[in-house]
Structure 1
């Protein structure tokens, strides 16, 4: 029961992610009135759960390297700080990055517990905040050019074209929901994987481990967020930033889905590494940044006159403020949890022990040596 109580902050974060990031899956489709919200919510909810359970482990490891939140009280607080940040940004109708919120919150935990932040991992994550929208824009422009080329060579009746576009938006939206679950479930449940160990479910033909159970629960929370509170941000992405044609909406969702899938596929990363190329980093990517990068890419390809810079500026401000706000909020909430509720929120001890066990010669430097009479006698006999 206590475990479930502490897990509520992760569920709240999942709900906030669904409420915010559904716009990245079906926002453009709903904004162009090609797909109804109810159908979009059902499809997104189903496939986000499938993606979380089937492919969510890869990106989760990266967040664990950034900060191994070791206690249940700390995991609860870190997730709650990120969730409150995302929820507040969502209330302002800003497509905020859940990835940035949880990263800022974990760094706040590192500061409070005096654990060093792995700058290599942080650099890798921040690089995706830059490369994600760029890749989204590049993919969107290339796909848009291919679509234009195809429509010139194949003449379709307006009705057939409309049907194909609607079906395409549904299929691509399902792929986008799968990729969102696979890549972003780490943001929701990643901080709990070290502190919560659930009993594996053995069905003879299938064993569902602790992480998969957590990812399933988090996927349900995301699905509920999509169904109950995502219309606000959908209007921002689908209509406010730039007027979109249905074809452009299809391309934008596909570009975003491809980027998220690439950064969460262990199979693809291993395949690239097997031919001697650097493996793709499995990192939680900001779907908000990718989809808006795709929208801007198409807007620039069309000349850039239709992009509403004032809305783009407010969105950019939200991206900058998110990790800072989440980090500060996490720090003070951890202080409150530790000193008022007397909950253990972690310390440098665990990381120090792990480093001690892995560093050569650290046993003699960092641990007291205990002599046992039997071993001392055996050592003395061995030296004779």
Structure 2
């Protein structure tokens, strides 16, 4: 039961995502009153669960590289801190990013546990905070222009236009909800993957992995958030940045869905890379940033006169502050959980540059003079700091040294250490 209690913070985070990020899928449709909230919530809930369960593994690996949380109590507090951050910002009606909140929380855990935050992975994730809204704005700009050009050459009765737009909003919204579930379930349950309490479950010839069970629970939590608390943010997104028409709402949803799919599809990435084509990284993308980028692109097509820059300014401030606040809250919360409730929030690991490690590094072409180094380091950060001080190794080479020098698990007091990892 204690393990299930620890998962509750991930479920709370899923609910927060459903109340905030997932609402952006149908926000423009509901804001323009083309789709009823009940319809949007039902369709969004079904497809976000399907996306999480079927295709949720794509972006989880990237978050694991940013910070692999190795104790379930630590995972509980990381998810809870991120959820609290999102919930607080949601109460202020700001469509903040769950992706940024969980990234900030993981970085906070890294600081507390003495783990090194890989700047390359962090940079790859942070770059999507810029590229995803820009891509959405670009797609929205081009699609809106194309629809305008098409409308000048094809005459459709206004009632049919209205019906086609409504159907399009529902179909594209379902596609967007699926992509969101596939991409953002990593934010909800990704920190629990390495410490999951579940076992693989086999029925006849079907096997549901422990990770899929986590993703199913997380998808249900997102769906509950959509149904119970997303209406307010839907109206904010649909009407708060720029005045939307039903047709522009269709463009916004389509642009957002395409961008989410590009960052979520493992199959598409494999296809592109196998043919030597460039591809986007599989990372959790903020649906809030994507939809606002799309809405902004539509506003630019219309001349930019209807864009409410004050609302955009408040939203951007939320984006900047969310990861910082989440990291600070996580650090304080982990300290409280460890020292007040005596819970182990991370597995202590030591690092040693033994002769075996040095020989292995030499075979890989990494020369290391150990005369300046200590026999043992208490955590990853301390060894990484020494490597930066005494060597000119690249970031990738330092990462390899850290992998080889890690002694896992750390020995209890008074017992000999385990041998370093080969």
Q: TM-score, normalised by structure 1?
A: 0.92
Deviation at 1:205, TM superposition (A): 3.1
Which residue number corresponds to residue 216 of structure 2? 216
Assess, with a 3 A threshold, how the Cα gap between structure 1 residues 232 and 157 changes in structure 2: closer, same or farther: same
Assess, with a 3 A threshold, how the Cα gap between structure 1 residues 154 and 3 changes in structure 2: closer, same or farther: same
User: Does residue 264 of structure 2 align to residue 250 of structure 1?
Assistant: no
Q: Within 5 Å, which residues of 2 pair with 1:33-182?
A: 33-182=33-182
For structure 1, which segment, 23-32 or 194-203, has the greater mean C-alpha deviation from structure 2 after superposition?
194-203
Task: Report SS of the residue matched to 1:202.
Answer: strand
**Superposed CA RMSD:** 2.2
Following the alignment from structure 1 to structure 2, what is the Cα–Cα distance between the partners of residues 75 and 222?
Answer: 18
Following the alignment from structure 1 to structure 2, what is the Cα–Cα distance between the partners of residues 267 and 358?
Answer: 39
Task: Report SS of the residue matched to 2:259.
Answer: helix
Following the alignment from structure 2 to structure 1, what is the Cα–Cα distance between the partners of residues 350 and 268?
Answer: 33
Task: Report SS of the residue matched to 2:244.
Answer: coil
The structure that is helix-richer by fraction is 1
Following the alignment from structure 2 to structure 1, what is the Cα–Cα distance between the partners of residues 101 and 205?
Answer: 38
For structure 1, which segment, 147-156 or 246-255, has the greater mean C-alpha deviation from structure 2 after superposition?
147-156
Is contact 1:100–1:323 with CA below 8 Å preserved after alignment? yes
Assess, with a 3 A threshold, how the Cα gap between structure 1 residues 87 and 142 changes in structure 2: closer, same or farther: same
Deviation at 1:231, TM superposition (A): 1.4
Deviations 1:105-150 (A, max 9, x none): 0000000011000111000001000101000000111111121122
User: Does residue 269 of structure 2 align to residue 269 of structure 1?
Assistant: yes
Is contact 1:114–1:347 with CA below 8 Å preserved after alignment? no
Which residue number corresponds to residue 341 of structure 1? 341
Following the alignment from structure 1 to structure 2, what is the Cα–Cα distance between the partners of residues 22 and 98?
Answer: 10
Following the alignment from structure 1 to structure 2, what is the Cα–Cα distance between the partners of residues 70 and 149?
Answer: 55
Assess, with a 3 A threshold, how the Cα gap between structure 1 residues 163 and 279 changes in structure 2: closer, same or farther: closer
Deviations 1:31-74 (A, max 9, x none): 10000000100000000000001111010000000000110100
Following the alignment from structure 2 to structure 1, what is the Cα–Cα distance between the partners of residues 207 and 258?
Answer: 29
Is contact 2:351–2:405 with CA below 8 Å preserved after alignment? no
Deviations 1:228-251 (A, max 9, x none): 001121121011211101011011
Following the alignment from structure 2 to structure 1, what is the Cα–Cα distance between the partners of residues 275 and 65?
Answer: 26
Q: Within 5 Å, which residues of 2 pair with 1:294-373?
A: 294-347=294-347, 349=349, 360=361
Deviation at 1:358, TM superposition (A): 12
Following the alignment from structure 2 to structure 1, what is the Cα–Cα distance between the partners of residues 280 and 179?
Answer: 15
Is contact 1:272–1:280 with CA below 8 Å preserved after alignment? no
Assess, with a 3 A threshold, how the Cα gap between structure 1 residues 348 and 261 changes in structure 2: closer, same or farther: farther
Assess, with a 3 A threshold, how the Cα gap between structure 1 residues 369 and 32 changes in structure 2: closer, same or farther: closer
Following the alignment from structure 2 to structure 1, what is the Cα–Cα distance between the partners of residues 120 and 358?
Answer: 21
User: 5+ residue gaps in structure 2?
Assistant: 363-400, 408-415
Deviation at 1:351, TM superposition (A): 8.6
Following the alignment from structure 2 to structure 1, what is the Cα–Cα distance between the partners of residues 265 and 310?
Answer: 36
Deviation >3 Å, runs of 4+: 350-353, 356-371
Following the alignment from structure 1 to structure 2, what is the Cα–Cα distance between the partners of residues 365 and 143?
Answer: 52
Is contact 1:27–1:238 with CA below 8 Å preserved after alignment? yes
Following the alignment from structure 1 to structure 2, what is the Cα–Cα distance between the partners of residues 264 and 28?
Answer: 22
Is contact 2:74–2:345 with CA below 8 Å preserved after alignment? yes
Following the alignment from structure 2 to structure 1, what is the Cα–Cα distance between the partners of residues 175 and 322?
Answer: 27
Following the alignment from structure 2 to structure 1, what is the Cα–Cα distance between the partners of residues 351 and 66?
Answer: 12
Following the alignment from structure 2 to structure 1, what is the Cα–Cα distance between the partners of residues 209 and 340?
Answer: 35
Task: Report SS of the residue matched to 1:21.
Answer: coil
Deviation at 1:154, TM superposition (A): 1.6
How many residues were matched structurally? Answer: 369
Following the alignment from structure 2 to structure 1, what is the Cα–Cα distance between the partners of residues 84 and 107?
Answer: 16
Which residue number corresponds to residue 377 of structure 1? none
Following the alignment from structure 1 to structure 2, what is the Cα–Cα distance between the partners of residues 358 and 161?
Answer: 71
Assess, with a 3 A threshold, how the Cα gap between structure 1 residues 266 and 352 changes in structure 2: closer, same or farther: farther
Deviations 1:67-91 (A, max 9, x none): 0011010000000000000000100
Task: Report SS of the residue matched to 1:22.
Answer: coil
Higher relative contact order (CA 8 A, sep 6+): 1
Task: Report SS of the residue matched to 1:207.
Answer: strand
